[in-house]
Structure 1
Amino acid sequence: MTAAHDAVPHDAAQKFDASRAGEYEQQSRIALAGYDACHELSACMLAAALGSGRAARILVAGAGGGAREIVTAAALEPRWRFTAVDPSEPMLALAVARLEERGLDERTEVVCGTVADLPEGETFDAGTLIGVLHHLPGDEAKRAILSDIAQRLRPGAPLILAGNHHSYASQPLLLAAWGERWRQQGAGPAEVEAKRARILQGADPPHSEQAVADLLRESGFAPPLRFFSSLFWGAWIARRAPGAA
């Protein structure tokens, strides 16, 4: 892998410091209506794609925080093992603590770094990239992480990709509803405005669902299938194209 593939994910991880890591899971449940449902369906989609009850190695990119992808999938499929990768030490520490609480640390290899840091030639039966892509600035960085994942998946292996899409400012009604979601959960007018300003400045999601499909295609994946949606958020499953380099 090239150094360019490493640089941007590490830079993006800097905003997930210890203070933000501590509030991440609680805040995510408000910002994403259906947080648990998305993770549950992601596990179900992987199990359906791989075949339930089979042993499998799952690459979890951006695993920091509450390790919800692993906790949910591990409960459904006891023969799955996981490699959790995240460049943010505070976020990864939260994930490790959760895995230890659930007794899942023995089923999980933890790597503080990026997917590009994994040994070349190591392959996985499936992968997940949940809540990461919209934090990476520009299409080049997005293609880089998707390409790094594709190169470590077996041909035909499924990837769960989930995150925000649409330019936030281009969808004023969705943005207003997102603000109402925070108000619904007890945030006052000043807090709602602060959070709206923060999301407008702090992320760079793909600008459409077609842009998501294009990024996947350019990175070595077959056309995706969307299985979950919530305001700006979408979740898709896509398989590594058999002929991808």
Structure 2
Amino acid sequence: MNASSTEKFDNSRANEYGKQSRIALAGYDTCHDLAACMLAASLGNAGSARILAVGAGGTAQEIIAMGSLEPGWRFMAVDPSEPMLAAATEQLRSHDLLERTDLHLGPVDDLPADESYDAATVIGVLHHLEGDEAKRALLQSIRARLKPGAPLIVAGNHYAYASQPLLLEAWGQRWRQNGASADEMKAKLGKILQGADPPHSEAAVQKLLHEAGFGETTRFFSSLFWGAWLTRRTG
């Protein structure tokens, strides 16, 4: 993430991230569980693997899901936000996964260039990066640290929000149904419209991946604005 993206994830955002994410994304836990299943299928039911989890701060849910389902996997959790990584550390400790996880505060580019991973995840990250150049640069950094042919899970919002008024209204109604007042709904809708820059279509996600050196994509989850795909490093 760039500096402006990182600044959004301060202590107050980190502390409420788990609850907020599960309201904003219907099927939050299911998406992460399916990501673990898709990686296991792609890795051929590997008994051991090293997984790079980019943007794992906050809930660390991708690592919790993978770690509980695959006891032989180990993880590198990367996040540029100190409060978010601290929150993830507490979650990993409470799930007895801290000993299987290395933690890195900072960007992917700061990881050793000579280390390679069997697979990677980047979940809920791309739509927080402004512009295609930043999104593509992150994907290229991830690719450089994957083994040839290694799978990558990408998940996040993939519509220009204002282009989908019915989905936007449904998103707001989900907050109302979970107890948000009219003023809170308005504030949250304003935040989602101003605080992120998602790819504008599934085709745009695929284009970014292809330009960054990844192959064809398989979508395995969808929820309002959100989609999740599996692809592989080419070359």
TM range (shorter): over 0.9
- Whether the 8 Å contact between 1:57 and 1:81 is mirrored in structure 2 is yes
- The residue aligned with 1:129 is 122
Give the SS at the match of 2:147.
coil
- The residue aligned with 2:21 is 28
The yes-or-no answer on 1:172 pairing with 2:145 is no
Work out the CA distance in 1 between the residues paired with 2:167 and 2:182: 17
- Whether the 8 Å contact between 1:128 and 1:160 is mirrored in structure 2 is yes
User: Residue deviations 1:199-245, cap 9 Å, x none?
Assistant: 00000000000000000000010011100000000000000012xxx
- Partner AA of 1:81 in structure 2: R
**RMSD, aligned CA:** 0.8
The yes-or-no answer on 1:221 pairing with 2:210 is no
Normalising by structure 2, report the TM-score.
0.98
| Residue of structure 1 aligned with 2:189, choices 191, 196, 209 | 196
- Whether the 8 Å contact between 1:10 and 1:114 is mirrored in structure 2 is no
- Whether the 8 Å contact between 1:10 and 1:88 is mirrored in structure 2 is no
Work out the CA distance in 2 between the residues paired with 1:239 and 1:175: 31
- The residue aligned with 1:102 is 95
- The residue aligned with 2:62 is 69
Work out the CA distance in 1 between the residues paired with 2:17 and 2:157: 16
| Residue of structure 2 aligned with 1:90, choices 83, 88, 93 | 83
Which residues of structure 2 form unaligned runs of 5+? none
Q: After superposition, where does 1:103-122 map in structure 2 within 5 Å?
A: 103-122=96-115
- The residue aligned with 2:139 is 146
Work out the CA distance in 2 between the residues paired with 1:198 and 1:12: 13
> Once the 2 structures are TM-superposed, how far is the Cα of residue 53 of structure 1 from its aligned partner?
4.4
Query: Residues 190 and 11 of structure 1: is their aligned pair in 2 closer, same or farther, counting only changes over 3 Å?
Result: closer
User: Residue deviations 1:1-31, cap 9 Å, x none?
Assistant: xxxxxxx534311110001100011000000
- Whether the 8 Å contact between 1:52 and 1:77 is mirrored in structure 2 is no
Work out the CA distance in 2 between the residues paired with 1:108 and 1:10: 25
User: Residue deviations 1:24-59, cap 9 Å, x none?
Assistant: 110000000000100010001001111224210000
Work out the CA distance in 2 between the residues paired with 1:33 and 1:176: 14
Q: Give the count of matched residue pairs.
A: 235
Runs of 4+ deviating beyond 6 Å: none
Identity of aligned residues (%): 64
| Residue of structure 2 aligned with 1:157, choices 150, 161, 165 | 150
Work out the CA distance in 2 between the residues paired with 1:117 and 1:61: 12
- Partner AA of 1:175 in structure 2: L
- Partner AA of 2:76 in structure 1: T
Give the SS at the match of 1:44.
helix
> Once the 2 structures are TM-superposed, how far is the Cα of residue 184 of structure 1 from its aligned partner?
1.0
> Once the 2 structures are TM-superposed, how far is the Cα of residue 121 of structure 1 from its aligned partner?
1.6
- The residue aligned with 1:241 is 234
- The residue aligned with 2:51 is 58
- The residue aligned with 1:16 is 9
> Once the 2 structures are TM-superposed, how far is the Cα of residue 99 of structure 1 from its aligned partner?
1.0
- Partner AA of 1:201 in structure 2: Q
Work out the CA distance in 1 between the residues paired with 2:203 and 2:135: 14
